[in-house]
Structure 1
Amino acid sequence: MIIDAHQHFWSPEEVSYPWLTDEIAPVNRRFGPEHLAPLMTAAGVQATVLVQSADHRADTDAMLAIAERSAAVAGVVAWVPLDDADAAAEQLAELRRDPVVVGVRNLVHDRPDPDHVLLPAFLDGLRVLAAAGVPFDMVTSQLRHLEHVPSLSERVPGLRVVLDHLGKPPFRQGEDAWRAWEQLLARAAEDPLVIAKVSGLYPAPAGDPGWDVDEVRPAFEHAMSCFGPERLMVGGDWPISVLFGGYEKTWEVTQGLMRETSADERAALLGGTAVSTYRLDAQRLAAASASAVASEGSPS
């Protein structure tokens, strides 16, 4: 079963997404399951993990409403206010009544303080996740953020960290930046509770589709050497990927990266790691698989 471990839905007319501006106009509109379904079918993807896109409850509620009616959504990475441990614990307990909630993310890469994840209040919030056995999706936008992953492992024992987008490899930024990223990713991987997503890997700037699998391959191969396939999962990063060539291109590149991997490695990368990391519900996975089969058999 192929699982897209990182995708989003949003509707800016109904929910506020402050980062959605006219500067990224192609994605500043509604993206829903009806738009993704044919793309998934064409790519052979049967299920997805839906990931939060804003640091407020309205986004989580919108995701849960979609998950309730969309069989393809096998898991939701929600938002809880990790800066307030008591509120986070209360909201997490409420959300976890629904087995579709499988993780938590905050947009820490957008905080003014690049060291925000190390603030005492935030660490207390992460301890709530560790105690509940819920993984924390960490999104980065600079190497400084990636530096903190080993610190989280040390300060919050038992916390499972899912590193989104391989910590953003610095494509086309020079040898020094690349070597620094390689070293930081290797350090992050030293903790067996850190898992990473092969997703959002765009060597070219937004609007430039001039990149290919060969440019991405060094990042993938380094991640494989650090984590191994059992701690890596793939994701399409849709609809952000619209800015970089779209869903089809993302999965073409993903399949290209898999050409030198074994069947067992592909099984982990394309689904097994997502299932074990997020502890995806077996009934939801079965429903997603059945829905995908029905979609494949439907007339076009």
Structure 2
Amino acid sequence: MRIDAHQHFWLFDQERDAWITAAMERIQRNFLPNDISMTLKENGFDGVVAVQASQSLQENRFLLELAQVYKLIKGIVGWVDLRSPEVEQQLAQFADQDLIKGYRHVVEGEEDPDFLHRDEFLRGIAALTEHGYTYDLLIRPWHYESTLKCVAANPQQAFMLDHIAKPPIKTQEFSAWAAFIEKLASFSNVHCKVSGLGTEADWKHWKLDHFTEYLEHVFGCFGKGRLVFGSDWPVCLLAGEYSDSLNIVEHHLRDFSSEELAGFWGDNAVKFYGLK
């Protein structure tokens, strides 16, 4: 099964979605599955993983409602307040929803560098582990150390690193990010989503070779069995078209066997998220 493992859907709300700034005018509108379904079909994709874009329990209900109508949604990465003493009750609200495969917090928006290693957050991660949910890591450089501490403290938790940790492709800085990736990849319970790359580059002037060093490093550190593809649609539209998300990575898959290609384009995501 060919899977785009990172897509967002929303009914645009200017107040709630304040992260979509004036510079992002192209995505200041509604995006629903019927806006991407034909493109997915043209590119041979069988389905997607819908990832939360808003931090509310209502976001889970919204994505579940979409999945009832649009069968291309094969799994959901939702949101609960992992810091809350009521995290178990929040998880219980969705315990019977098999489409919810895991959860995510928008840690990249948190200024606290130790956010991922605070006691209350770690208790939330422990709850995910107990109930068999995955956790998507969405971070910025100031979270590197607490990410490593969080992962080290939770060896039984399945982690997925979103957007290869958002490296500074626009400025072509490499060393700090590369050192972090090497350390993180040493934990076998961490997988990596090759997604969201165009938006970390210069949106208007990126070239394919701007991504080479980053992709080669990720492939070398994680190996081919722990990598999945995600477009980060519609956010990826800020830096081009859907096809650009494919072109950025396809150039670097020439030494993949047919089995490894099947893994990268879907089978690895099916296994990690337990998709059907």
Superposed displacement of residue 249, structure 1: 1.4
Deviation at 1:167, TM superposition (A): 0.6
Equivalent residue number for residue 186 of structure 1: 182
Q: Deviations over 1:184-236 (max 9, x none)?
A: 00100111000110001125334x1x323332222122111111111110101
Deviations 1:47-100 (A, max 9, x none): 10000001111222111111111110100000011111x422222232131111
Q: Show structure 2 runs of 5+ residues with no match.
A: none
Counterpart of 1:49 in 2: which secondary structure? strand
Distance 2:167 2:220 in 1: 15
Residues 14/112 of structure 1: CA separation in 2 closer, same or farther (3 Å cut): closer
Aligned residue number for residue 139 of structure 1: 138
Find the counterpart in structure 2 of residue 197 from structure 1. 193
Aligned-pair Cα RMSD in Å? 1.7
Report the equivalent of 2:154: 156
Structure 1 letter corresponding to 2:57 = R
Determine if contact 1:230/1:272 at 8 Å carries over to the other structure: no
Partner Cα distance (2:168, 2:14) in 1: 34
1:211 paired to 2:206: yes
Q: Distance in 1 between matches of 2:119 and 2:175?
A: 30
Query: Which residue pairs with 1:296 in the alignment?
Result: none
Matches within 5 A, 1:215-230: 215-230=210-225
TM-score (norm 1): 0.87
Contact 2:155 2:189 in 1 (8 A): no
Deviation for aligned residue 1:255: 2.5
CA contact (8 A) 1:43 1:251 kept: no
Structure 1 residue 238 and structure 2 residue 238: aligned? no
Aligned to 2:83: 83
Asked if the contact 1:146/1:185 (under 8 Å) is kept, the reply is no
The letter for the 2-side match of 1:215 is H
- Specify which of 256, 268, 272 is matched with residue 273 of structure 1: 268
The count of residues paired between Structure 1 and Structure 2 equals 275
Moved over 6 A (4+): none
The aligned residue for residue 31 of structure 1 is 31
Within a 5 Å distance, the mapping from 1:115-126 to structure 2 comes to 115-126=114-125
Q: In structure 1, list runs of 5 or more residues that go unmatched.
A: 283-300
Contact 1:46/1:72 (CA < 8 Å) preserved in 2?
yes
User: What is the identity, as a one-letter code, of the residue corresponding to 2:123?
Assistant: D
Q: Partner residue of 1:53?
A: 53
Are the aligned partners of 2:116 and 2:147 in contact in 1 as well (CA < 8 Å)?
no
Normalization by structure 2: what TM-score? Answer: 0.94
- What is the rounded CA distance, in whole Å, between the counterparts of 2:82 and 2:58 in structure 1? 16
Percent identity between the aligned chains? 31
Q: Is 1:238–1:246's contact at 8 Å kept on the other side of the alignment? A: no
Offset at 1:14?
Answer: 9.7
Instruction: Check conservation: 1:79, 1:104, Cα contact below 8 A.
Output: yes
Counterpart-to-counterpart distance in 2, 1:246 and 1:96:
36
Q: Judge conservation of contact 1:78–1:105 (CA < 8 Å) in 2.
A: yes
Match of 1:291 in 2: none
Q: Do the aligned residues in 1 keep the contact of 2:113 with 2:146 (CA within 8 Å)? A: no
